[in-house]
Structure 1
Amino acid sequence: MSDGMLAGRRIMITGAARGLGRQIASAAAAAGAQLVLSDILQDELATTAAALRGEGHAVEDLYIDQADPDSIEQGMARVAADGPLDGLVNNAALATNVGGKTMHEYDQDLWDRVMQVNVRGVWLMTRAAVPLLKGGDRRGKVVNMASDTALWGAPRLMAYVASKGAVISMSRAMARELGSDNICVNVVAPGLTRVEATEYVPQERWDYYAAGRSLAGEQQADDVDGTVLYLLSGWSDFVSGQVIPVNGGFVFN
């Protein structure tokens, strides 16, 4: 189904070293995209990029610390030096070990760190990518990865939930502002997905999701990538400002 749907498109994916980002990168490569992958996890990113190159795909990889505006600026300058982009997937986020405490117990420094990476980082990455996305023959695509936790208000995960709610609201504002630049901005909100970043999640949360889904089964990374590819492709050229939960029917939007 996805073969060739991104052929000739240069797509940047952040947080691509492992987990959901790695799965999206693999699917986009299989769909014909030329990839620019970034992450703070340099060794794991190099391994992911090397594996995709070994399969014959065109892949660039670079270090970007999304909490550091200078790192974003320098990294995106390198991306720009090699040409325009057709799509940006803002997948990088701080998700590991950010939950488990009530709003009264939450550490302020951790709150600030989550907001730096998950909210400010998405804004700065998108802002830096806009000149590379506009002006082409086809629409530029921005896909911001949120979470269905922001749609149902998951407890004991306050900063993460707030950050992903901000991503949803910010994306709608971006869609309004960037439409005149021929850029679509949409959001994918996955449910609890079995990847490295969720290894710390307690079993009761997995059980809660399993009991509440319309579709049986534990969510895997490859349950999400098809929706992302659709939003990066020409098939979604008249879709912007939308939030698509991909969670097996745990939350309806």
Structure 2
Amino acid sequence: MHVSLSSLAGHRVVITGGARGLGEIIAEACAAAGAELWLADILEEGGKTADRIAAKYEVPVSFSCVDLAAPESIATFAETVRGKWDSIDGLVNNGAIATNVGGKNFEDIEIELWDRVQTVNVRGTWLMTRALSPLFSTRGRIVNIASDTALWGAPRLLAYIASKGAVIAMTRSLARELGPRGIGVSAVAPGIMRTEATEYVPQERHDLYETGRAVPGPQYPEDIVGVVAFLLTEPALSLTGQALPVNAGFVFT
């Protein structure tokens, strides 16, 4: 089935971590497809991102500053959304922290770092989904941004891998719980991308990916967003529960 770029026209989509990087590019793709957006991010610069996208694509774009590590912040955000929207059609759980990439062995990870990563990446994804789920329309779609590191078991990255593995597992369970309401839940598992958020990643880790892909070379957010935008459409319901490794062939499943 061909899905046109106008396939998100009239849809309302929430994107966490939307201030910059992958989240910003996802927001642009959704806006280009006609969606009304609400960006959530701990970075206040997300307000400027929202204004820029709204002006460029002539669609309504709202922004809220949200801390995924704070349950009260998520609850307040959900109440704010409910005050403006009577329903939503899409949620992209992109907000996360990626610490220790290519860094410490599992024996050397601090408990505080472990807890912080799980709190934001796992609990934050769950709480945001729970807070917004009453607003989902019957064409609702949830896309969780995971990582292909959880599919191949990258070394020296245990806290992050554990969190993204949990996101994939939650995707499958939520797909079964929300499926009877007609809501699809899927995950996208990209490889390491070239963004400002991965500037600290050791070059050897980038080299591993860029030479090991079936289609060699770097990966950018623009290479991912078409899949994310499709998963927010109505025809994507058949992919519910799936974790798609969108990584130019570094991992096959």
Q: TM-score range by the shorter chain?
A: over 0.9
- Which residue pairs with 1:177 in the alignment? 177
**Hey, what's the Cα distance between the residues in 1 that align with 2:145 and 2:239?**
16
- Which residue pairs with 2:115 in the alignment? 112
> Match of 1:149, as an amino acid?
T
- Which residue pairs with 2:133 in the alignment? 130
Give the number of equivalent residue pairs: 249
CA contact (8 A) 2:99 2:117 kept: no
- Which residue pairs with 1:28 in the alignment? 30
Matched, 1:89 2:92: yes
- 1:197 positional shift: 1.2
CA contact (8 A) 2:211 2:217 kept: no
Q: 2:78 aligns with which of 76, 79, 92?
A: 76
CA contact (8 A) 1:96 1:197 kept: no
**Hey, what's the Cα distance between the residues in 2 that align with 1:191 and 1:98?**
12
TM-score of the superposition, structure 1-length normalised?
0.96
- 1:34 positional shift: 0.2
**Hey, what's the Cα distance between the residues in 2 that align with 1:202 and 1:219?**
16
- 1:2 positional shift: 4.8
54-63 vs 9-18, which moves further:
54-63
CA contact (8 A) 1:8 1:34 kept: yes
> Match of 1:5, as an amino acid?
S
- 1:3 positional shift: 2.3
Pick closer, same or farther for the CA change 1:8–1:39 going to 2, 3 Å: same
CA contact (8 A) 1:35 1:59 kept: yes
Q: Deviations over 1:35-90 (max 9, x none)?
A: 01000001x20121111122122101001100000000001110111121000000
**Hey, what's the Cα distance between the residues in 2 that align with 1:93 and 1:169?**
16
- Which residue pairs with 2:52 in the alignment? 51
Q: Deviations over 1:144-189 (max 9, x none)?
A: 0000000011111110000000000011011111111221100000
CA contact (8 A) 1:10 1:86 kept: yes
Q: Which runs of 4+ in 1 moved over 4 A?
A: 96-99
TM-score of the superposition, structure 2-length normalised?
0.96
SS at 1:5 equivalent = helix
CA contact (8 A) 1:97 1:200 kept: no
**Hey, what's the Cα distance between the residues in 1 that align with 2:206 and 2:148?**
14
**Hey, what's the Cα distance between the residues in 2 that align with 1:140 and 1:51?**
26
Q: Deviations over 1:94-148 (max 9, x none)?
A: 1145651000110110100000000000000001111011xx3x42100000000
**Hey, what's the Cα distance between the residues in 1 that align with 2:94 and 2:128?**
11
CA contact (8 A) 1:98 1:159 kept: no
CA contact (8 A) 1:86 1:141 kept: yes
- Which residue pairs with 1:219 in the alignment? 219
Uncovered stretches (5+) of structure 2, i.e. residues with no partner:
none
Identity of aligned residues (%): 55
> Match of 1:113, as an amino acid?
R
**Hey, what's the Cα distance between the residues in 2 that align with 1:193 and 1:2?**
26
